[in-house]
Amino acid sequence: MKKILFFTTLAVIAGPSFAADVGVSVNIGEPGFYGQINIGDFPQPRVVYAQPVIVQRAPEYTGGPVYLRVPPGHEKHWSRHCAEYNACNRPVMFVRDDWYRNEYAPHYRHDNDHHDEGDHGHDHDHGH
């Protein structure tokens, strides 16, 4: 009886700590990232389709295409998935996974690591 009471108490105490560790964050440049990519001054990416894909035409949208990395199969059934990316009424260019992994992600990580190195020990508020 004491063993059952001990393990029940242990489970109640430990339960919330297991639930708190559920969240996972994946950033641009990491292998599991899916979403919009800021091309900026990066050379033209390799894309899945030559023309942008648009599910719903929006006359008020005048910007260029949005570059997205999506999981395999999402681009084939884009009308089912476009809302997840807030991109149903925008022209979308799907970047190829090999381009993201081999060119964009290493370049992105290198640029961000390089910027972070210069910030160590600096007080950006200058005492304010």
The phi, psi pair for 109, rounded to 5°, reads: -60, -40
- 66-69/35-37 β-pairing: antiparallel
Domain boundaries, the chain: 25-117
Report the half-sphere exposure of 66 (CA within 13 A, side-chain side): 18
Of the candidates 34, 78, 28, the residue with the CA atom closest to the CA atom of residue 52: 78
Helix H or strand E segment including 24 = none
Separation between Cα atoms, residue 86 and residue 7, nearest integer Å: 47
- Mean residue pLDDT of the chain comes to 74
Give the type of residue at 100. Answer: Y
Residues belonging to the chain? 128
Q: pLDDT, tens digit, for every residue of 62-78?
A: 678 999 999 999 999 99
Q: pTM of the full predicted structure?
A: 0.65
Burial class (CB in 10 A: 0-12, 13-18, 19+), 68: buried
* Tokens found for residue 29: 């440049």
Q: pLDDT, tens digit, for every residue of 78-117?
A: 999 999 999 998 999 999 999 999 988 888 777 776 544 4
pLDDT greater than 80 at residue 49 = yes
* Tokens found for residue 11: 């489970």
